[in-house]
Amino acid sequence: MRVTRRQFMAGTAATLLATHAVAAARGRKARLPNFLVLLTDDQRWNAMGCMGNPIIQTPNMDRLAAEGIVFDNHFCTTSICMSSRASIFTGMYARTHRIVDFSLPLPETRLSQSYPLMLRAAGYRTGFVGKWGLGGDLPTDRFDFFEGFSGQGKYFQERDGEPIHLTSIMGDNAIAFLKGCTADQPFCLSVSFKAPHVQDGDPRQYLYDPKLEDLYKDVTFPPPENASPEFFERQPEFVRNSEGRRRWETRFPNEAKYQESVKGYYRLVTGVDIALGRILDALRKLGLDDNTVILFTSDNGLFLGARGLAGKWLMYEESIRLPLIIRDPRLREPLRGTRCDEMTLTVDLAPTVLHLANVERPMGMQGRSLTPLLRGKKPSWRTEWFYEHEYGHGGKIPRSEGIRTKTWKYIRYVDRDPAVEELYDLEHDPHESNNLTGQTDYLPRLEEMRQRWHIWRGRFNAFDPDGNRRWTDPEADCGCTKGGAHP
**pLDDT confidence of residue 290:** 95
Residues 326 and 293: beta-carbon distance below 8 Å: yes
Kindly state whether residue 342 falls inside one of the protein's structural domains. Answer: yes
Task: Tell me the Cα Rg of the chain.
Answer: 22
CATH number of the structural domain spanning residue 149: 3.40.720.10
Structural domain of residue 272, as residue ranges? 5-378
**348-407 tens-digit pLDDT:** 999 999 999 999 999 999 999 999 999 999 999 999 999 999 998 888 999 999 999 999
* Cβ-contact 99, 360 below 8 angstroms: no
Is the pLDDT at 1 greater than 90? The verdict is no
Query: What's the pLDDT score for residue 366?
Result: 98
Which of 423, 371, 313, 365 shows the shortest CA–CA distance to 77? 313
Q: Which pLDDT score, from 0 to 100, does residue 479 have? A: 41
Between CA 205 and CA 198 the distance in angstroms is: 5
Length of the chain measured in residues = 487
Pairing of strands 292-298, 34-40: parallel
Cα–Cα distance measured from residue 120 to residue 96, given in angstroms and rounded to the nearest whole number: 23
Per-residue pLDDT reduced to its tens digit, 163-209: 999 999 999 999 999 999 999 999 999 999 999 999 988 988 999 99
The pLDDT score that the predictor gives to residue 19 is: 47
Q: Work out the number of other CB atoms within 10 angstroms of the CB of residue 191.
A: 26
Given a cut of 60, whether residue 21 has pLDDT beyond it is no
Is residue 333 scored above 80 in pLDDT? yes
Whether 317 shows a pLDDT value over 90: the answer reads yes
Amino acid 482: pLDDT: 42
In three state form, how does the secondary structure of the chain look? CCCCHHHHHHHHHHHHHHHHHHHHHHHCCCCCCEEEEEEECCCCCCCCHHHCCCCCCCHHHHHHHHHCEEEEEEECCCCCHHHHHHHHHHCCCHHHHCCCCCCCCCCHHHHCCCHHHHHHHCCCEEEEEEECCCCCCCCHHHCCEEEEECCCCCCEEEECCEEEEHHHHHHHHHHHHHHCCCCCCCEEEEEECCCCCCCCCCCCCCCCCHHHCCCCCCCCCCCCCCCCHHHHHCCCHHHHCCHHHHHHHHHCCCHHHHHHHHHHHHHHHHHHHHHHHHHHHHHHHCCCHHHEEEEEEECCCCCCCHHHCCCCCCCCHHHHEECEEEECCCCCHHHCCEEEEEEEEHHHHHHHHHHHCCCCCCCCCCCCCCHHHHCCCCCCCCCEEEEEECCCCCCCCCCEEEEEECCEEEEEECCCCCCEEEEEECCCCCCCCCCCCCCHHHHHHHHHHHHHHHHHHHHHHHCCCCCCCCCECCCCCCCCCCCCECC
CA distance 294 to 174: 13
Residue pLDDT, tens place only, 263-297 = 999 999 999 999 999 999 999 999 999 999 999 99
Mean pLDDT of 426-430: 97
CA angle 152, 95, 92 (to 5 degrees): 75
- Residue 321 phi/psi, 5-degree rounding, is -95, 130
Give the mean pLDDT of 113-132.
98
Do 170 and 275 touch, CB atoms closer than 8 A?
A: yes
| pLDDT score for 16 | 47
Quick: pLDDT tens for 441-486: 999 999 999 999 999 999 999 999 999 999 999 975 444 434 444 5
Would 287 be classed as within a structural domain?
Answer: yes
Interhelix angle 255-285/166-179, rounded to 10 degrees, is 10
Please report the pLDDT score of residue 264 as a whole number.
Answer: 98
**Is 57 inside any structural domain?**
yes
- Give per-residue pLDDT as tens, 47-77: 999 999 999 999 999 999 999 999 999 999 9
Question: Is residue 371, in this structure, part of any structural domain at all?
Answer: yes
Q: What is the mean pLDDT of residues 141-155?
A: 96
Does residue 480 belong to any structural domain of this protein?
no
Residue 370: exposure state from Cβ atoms within 10 A (0-12, 13-18, ≥19): buried
| Cα three-residue angle 300-306-307, rounded to 5 degrees | 110
Residue 425 covered by a domain? no
Model pLDDT, residue 376 = 94
| 457 assigned to some structural domain | no
Q: Residue 487: its pLDDT value, please? A: 62
Q: In this predicted structure, what is the pLDDT of residue 483?
A: 41
Residue range 325-334: average pLDDT? 95
pLDDT at 427: 97
Summary mean pLDDT of the chain: 92
pTM: 0.92
Q: Predicted confidence band at 159 (pLDDT cuts at 50, 70, 90)?
A: confident
> Does residue 418 have a cis bond before it (omega within 30 degrees)?
yes
List of residues 6+ apart from 336 with CB closer than 8 A: 66, 67, 68, 69
Alpha-carbon distance of 140 to 200, in angstroms, equals: 25
Number of domains comprising the chain: 1
In a domain, 246, yes or no: yes
The whole-number pLDDT of residue 486 equals 54
